[in-house]
Structure 1
Amino acid sequence: MFGLMLKDKEAAEMVYLLKKEMDEVYKDLQDRTVEDCVKRAMEEKYNLLFALYCRMVPPAERLPYHLSVINKKN
């Protein structure tokens, strides 16, 4: 296990980067031309990013980025 100490500004930047990357992966998941095996790998990446995101934000901010919630909206 690793620990990481960040200043508030660094943590905010990390959250921003995680959100942007999750948005990009989600957009790619919606592409119908992408094969299923690639989509599974992208879902794994999204879940990893989401797990990191969950460690950095309060529970109320997590819900909009939870993959099952996003899929129900669309």
Structure 2
Amino acid sequence: MLGLLINEMEQKEIEYLLRRELEELLMDLEDHRIDHMVKRAMRERYRILFQLFRRVASEKECMKYMPKRSENQ
């Protein structure tokens, strides 16, 4: 377990960067040209980034990016 001390401005910047990355992944996951193996890796990356996002964003913001349950889960 690691700890991290950041100020409010840094927290907002991390939140912004994570939000942009999550949005980009969501767009790419909708692309039917991308291979299923690549999409699996993208979903794993999304899961990890979302866990980080939950630590810095409000509950309301997190609800917007809540991963949808797939048929496999």
Q: Same fold (TM over 0.5)?
A: yes
**Residue deviations 1:33-70 (CA, integer Å, cap 9, x gap):** 0111110000000000000000112222211101218x
TM-score by length of 2: 0.88
Taking CA–CA contacts closer than 8 Å with sequence separation of 6 or more, which of the two structures ends up with the larger relative contact order?
2
1:1-74 aligned within 5 A: 1-68=1-68
| In structure 1, distance between residues paired with 2:10 and 2:55 | 14
Q: Which runs of 4+ in 1 moved over 2 A?
A: none
Equivalences, count: 70
Return 5+ residue gaps in structure 1 as ranges. Answer: none
Report SS of the residue matched to 2:6: coil
- Taking only aligned residues, the RMSD between alpha carbons, in angstroms, comes to 1.6
More helix by share: 1
| In structure 2, distance between residues paired with 1:60 and 1:27 | 21
Identity across the alignment (%):
37
Q: Kindly provide the amino acid, as one letter, of the partner of residue 15 in structure 1.
A: E
